[in-house]
């Protein structure tokens, strides 16, 4: 599943770097920390590799 916004793509990239040991988990905040804990490395790679061109910076939260 591709990222829907630039913010999602960036957060996934940070979480992926932590999964790979390139940065420390403690450096993650917000969405990137949630992604780190709830997604596999493969899922994060799919999100992080999404092209940014044409994506909005943020997508409105549609939860309740």
The answer on pLDDT for 62 being more than 80 is no
The pLDDT tens digits of the residues spanning 18-27 come to 999 999 999 9
Cβ 61 vs Cβ 10: under 8 Å? no
What angle, 0 to 180 degrees and rounded to 10, lies between the N-to-C axes of helices 6-19 and 31-38?
50
Under the banding of pLDDT at 50, 70 and 90, the label for residue 3 is confident
Read off the tokens for 48: 């992080």
**pTM for this one?**
0.79
Q: Quickly state the pLDDT bin for 63 (edges 50, 70, 90).
A: low
Q: What is the rounded CA–CA span in Å between residue 41 and residue 37?
A: 10
Average pLDDT estimate for 33-43: 94
């Amino acid at each position: 599943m591709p990222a829907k916004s630039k913010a999602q793509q960036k957060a996934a990239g940070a979480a992926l770097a932590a999964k790979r040991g390139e940065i420390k988990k403690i450096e993650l905040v917000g969405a990137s920390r949630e992604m780190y804990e709830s997604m596999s490395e493969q899922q994060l790679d799919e999100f992080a590799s999404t092209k940014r061109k044409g994506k909005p910076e943020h997508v409105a939260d549609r939860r309740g």
